[in-house]
Amino acid sequence: MEMNHVRRGSGEPLLLIHGLGGSWRTWTPILDGLAAEREVVAVDLPGHGETPALSGEVSIDTLADAVTSFLDANDLAGVDVVGNSMGARLVLELARRGEVGTTVALDPGGFWKGWERYFFYATLAPSIRLVRLLQPVMDRLMGSAVGRTMLLIQLSARPWDLSAEVTREEMRTFADSPSFDELLRRLAFGPSQPGTDSTPGSVVIGWGRKDRVTLPRQAKRALDRFPNAQLYWFEDSGHYPHWDAPDEATELILTSTANDE
């Protein structure tokens, strides 16, 4: 499958996979820093950004199949890969399947259980309805520190400090994604992410101490399922380390993916 994507920089390729409702532009705060050392390939997943939705089932499994097809078509098999949120779960699934190299998963989903599933769904489902409702005034809201704080407090430890341009784009793609609702239900109530003790490259799992979406307590479960992974804590970050701590996230990604070169 062909997916809309951008390429920046030169060197060994590095694939970036966004989270639920996002697009390649979510990585804007760290793109230049990564592209200074790597050729960065940032994609729009099916049903996100400018990539058409899949026909039929939309799930982690079918998204992983689509990304694998994209890798094969673009001579990127075994590429180092970074993901956030749903994208972080997706890169872990690709690593489990043996499709990618070094893997950096930032605040991955798929490790909740019990009431955490309902918490995840019950907080995000009304949030996306509100985001859609507010699209006519979203430019004004994201241009205001107060507006960003009101709408993004679940995603960021310091939403008032975020870029108006980046957050405006994220809110637009959230509202426009035709796959958001189905994926949200499957992520919340579908199977948890399976693990493995054998991956082609190393696995680094980064987690924000202030994450209000994938709660920090879930990091232990991620390590239980990927016992050879290394865990890195972002002490002053929420669910989006590439927004809250862009320099720290860039350093972690470049250092981690340099190890296996």
- Report yes or no: 253 and 104 within 8 Å, Cβ to Cβ: yes
Token pair listed for 74? 């673009």
Q: pTM of the full predicted structure?
A: 0.96
| Distance in angstroms (rounded) separating the CA atoms of residues 68 and 192 | 20
What is the pLDDT at residue 261? Answer: 45
What is the pLDDT at residue 259? Answer: 61
Coil, helix or strand for 153?
Answer: coil
Q: How far is CA 212 from CA 83, 107, 113, 116, 218, in A?
A: 18, 10, 15, 11, 11
Contact residues for 258 (Cβ-Cβ < 8 A; gap 6+): none
The pairing of strands 80-84 and 103-106 is parallel
Q: How far is CA 157 from CA 17, 25, 237, in A?
A: 21, 20, 5
Q: Along the 261 residues of the chain, how does pLDDT read in single tens digits?
A: 789 999 999 999 999 999 999 999 999 999 999 999 999 999 999 999 999 999 999 999 999 999 999 999 999 999 999 999 999 999 999 999 999 999 999 999 999 999 999 999 999 999 999 999 999 999 999 999 999 999 999 999 999 999 999 999 999 999 999 999 999 999 999 999 999 999 999 999 999 999 999 999 999 999 999 999 999 999 999 999 999 999 999 999 999 999 654
| Distance in angstroms (rounded) separating the CA atoms of residues 56 and 240 | 30
Q: Phi then psi for 223, rounded to 5 degrees?
A: -70, -35
